[in-house]
Amino acid sequence: MSETTGTTDISALRIALIGFGEVGGIFGAALAERGVAALTAYDILLDDPARGETMRAKAARAHVTLAASARQAVADADVVVSAVTASATLAAAESIAAGVRRDAIVLDINSASPGTKAASAAVVAAGGGRYVEAAVMTSVPPHGLRTPMLLGGPHARAAAPVLAALGFAATPASDEYGVASAIKMCRSVIVKGMEAIVIESFLTARRYGVEREVLASLAETFPGIEWEKQGTWFWQRVVQHGKRRAEEMREAAVTVREAGIAPTMASAIADRQAAVAALAAAGAFAAAGPEARWRELADCVPRDNAPGGPTPG
């Protein structure tokens, strides 16, 4: 299936994905359905014995061609989407810059600080690409390509119609780098902070046997929130994606520090997320299953390994 939208011929566009994890996989499958000319992806985990085969199977189902390197993936691409972990943002930009076509759009959707985005922009520009900062403003599942994004940088307005034609819900926010990411990172302090606070509060309430009273009091004070449902959602997201969230909050802490403020809360939130991620990696929540409610997940936390305390060795 091919499609022409406005002045952008989707069927002529060649797309590269750097990073083929959860987000890269979702975008890859959706872009393949849009009927682009070519869709190529690269991920450093392709060489990982434990995860490489699973990633290859996912690419085959999505009709995405896998490349042997980032440089090979981006060589002929008109649009490159960088979807890696927050800590790998600059390294991904460097690998893209080594092979990017002149004037190709490089859409960086990673959750990184304004300073990291500006540094990445300089690297990509030196390689001849047109770097566009993107701030993803909510969880990609279940929205897919329609997940709201804010775009930033001098190429944001020019890239917006191309991205819209591809199906992205991307809105230019600023002609300067860093503004979109600052919005995202400040929001993340609240969103990821609520997750961390709920996990700490609910786990403690569960240990004392007072969760019913605590939730009732919260419902009275904040009647617009379904605390039972929201608590389960927060727990599930952190158990499943705590490592990625912790990395994002490390970047949020950098963002706060870049503004001349001590990142007291952002750093503590990152620690809480990382501790839950460590427990998940050690298999602490395996018996509960992915759809477990918050009480089941809380009961999986060992008393001598509560999040924020000693992590499994």
- Please give the single-letter amino acid code of residue 83: A
Query: What pLDDT does residue 289 have?
Result: 87
State the Cα–Cα distance between residues 149 and 204, nearest whole angstrom: 36
Handedness of CA 19, 20, 22, 24 (dihedral sign): positive
Q: Which two three-digit tokens encode residue 44?
A: 């450093």
State the Cα–Cα distance between residues 182 and 295, nearest whole angstrom: 34
Which fold does the domain 182-305 belong to in CATH?
N-(1-d-carboxylethyl)-l-norvaline Dehydrogenase; domain 2 (1.10.1040)
Helix axes 227-258, 179-208, angle to 10 degrees: 130
Q: Which two three-digit tokens encode residue 312?
A: 């499994």
Which residue has tokens 């302090």?
189
| pLDDT tens, residue by residue, 202-242 | 999 999 999 999 999 999 999 999 999 999 999 999 999 99
Query: What pLDDT does residue 8 have?
Result: 81
State which H helix or E strand residue 261 sits in. none
Which residue has tokens 């930009």?
93
**With a cut of 70, which residues of the chain have pLDDT below it?**
1-6, 305-313
Query: What pLDDT does residue 300 have?
Result: 97
- Per CATH, the homologous superfamily of domain 4-177 is NAD(P)-binding Rossmann-like Domain (3.40.50.720)
Where helices occur in the chain by DSSP H, the ranges are 22-34, 52-62, 70-74, 89-97, 114-126, 140-143, 156-166, 179-208, 211-221, 227-258, 264-281, 294-298
Query: What pLDDT does residue 3 have?
Result: 44
Domain ranges of the chain: 4-177, 182-305
Query: What pLDDT does residue 309 have?
Result: 55
Round to the nearest angstrom and report the end-to-end CA distance of the chain: 51
